[in-house]
Amino acid sequence: MKTLAGLALLMFIGFSDASVSFTRWGRSVCPSGTVPLYKGFMTGSHSGAGGSASNFLCAHEDPKYVRGSAGFQGWAGALHGVELDLNSPQMKALFLTDNVNGGEVHNQDLPCVVCYVAASDDQIMITGRPDCGNSGYDLQYSGFLVSETNADRKRSEFVCVDEAPQGRLGGNGDMNQAVVFPVESACGSLPCSPYVDGMEVTCAVCTF
């Protein structure tokens, strides 16, 4: 059942049966022409622990607990904020620094926002392009593909982090809990060319 606030939002933006939503990873504002549904923090499982889950979530900035009690249970999954690690000069040069204090993207805890697009039928993430190519779709944002590191850590999800990410205020402490790194293309079964061995992979989120 839709809430009164939800109905008011739909009336304000013009309700359409054809509509989609997408998550903008690394930013707390939606692209022009879209409506923010909620913003929050990019979260995931601890990179050094087993179990829990492999996908990333956009956790609401204003959580509300219903029942439970503080104190960790050893068998429970845990939700951690996600930090962007850029451990080489090559990777530090990838992302634009326009939206971070001090011009340092490395070690920033990433925000996120879920955006609503009216009168749209579909949304996709295109891997390997910073644009929508010849798809006929509209670009919402572009960036770089990220995931957990490939070295002795558990598997995670591939997501597209905005090329000019923001950081959570005070969130650059190098906690190394849930961590993402830029993804590089690896030639072999993936052909070179057109791909380049060891090159950081671009991405775009597009709607139609």
Rounded Cα–Cα distance for residues 202 and 142 (Å): 8
For the stretch 81-93, pLDDT in tens is 999 999 889 999 9
Give the highest mean pLDDT range of 1-10, 16-25, 35-44, 145-154: 35-44
* Comparison of pLDDT for 142 and 155, the residue scoring more: 142
Name the residue range of residue 105's domain: 12-60+78-122+146-184
Whether the Cβ atoms of residue 132 and residue 139 lie closer than 8 Å to each other: yes
On the question of pLDDT at 2 being above 50, the answer is no
pLDDT interval class at 9 (50, 70, 90): low
Residue 18 — very low, low, confident or very high, per pLDDT cuts 50/70/90?
confident
Query: Is residue 205 situated within a structural domain?
Result: no
Residue 34 covered by a domain: yes
8 pLDDT more than 90: no
Q: Is residue 7 part of a domain?
A: no
Three-state DSSP at 90 gives: helix
Task: Note whether residue 71 is domain-resident.
Answer: no
Specify the pTM.
0.88
d(CA 113, CA 37): 8
pLDDT (tens digit, 9 = 90+) per residue, 93-130? Answer: 999 999 998 788 999 999 999 999 999 999 999 999 99
Residue 92 counted as domain residue = yes
Residue 184, Cβ neighbours under 10 Å: how many? 16
Angstrom distance (rounded) from CA 65 to CA 111: 21
Residue 17 covered by a domain: yes
**How many domains in the chain?**
1
Q: Is 3's pLDDT higher than 80? A: no
Q: How confident is the model at residue 152 (pLDDT cuts 50, 70, 90)?
A: low
Q: Of residues 74 and 6, which shows the higher confidence score?
A: 74
Mean pLDDT value across the chain: 89
Give the residue with greater pLDDT, 48 vs 182.
182
Structural domain includes residue 41: yes
Considering just the CA atoms, what is the radius of gyration of the chain in Å? 18
The C-alpha atoms of residue 87 and residue 184 are separated, in whole angstroms, by 14
User: Per-residue pLDDT averaged across 165-177, rounded?
Assistant: 80
Residue, of 18 and 30, whose pLDDT is higher: 30
> Is residue 159 scored above 90 in pLDDT?
yes
Q: Is residue 134 part of a domain?
A: no
Strand, coil or helix: 69: coil
Mean pLDDT of 62-75: 88
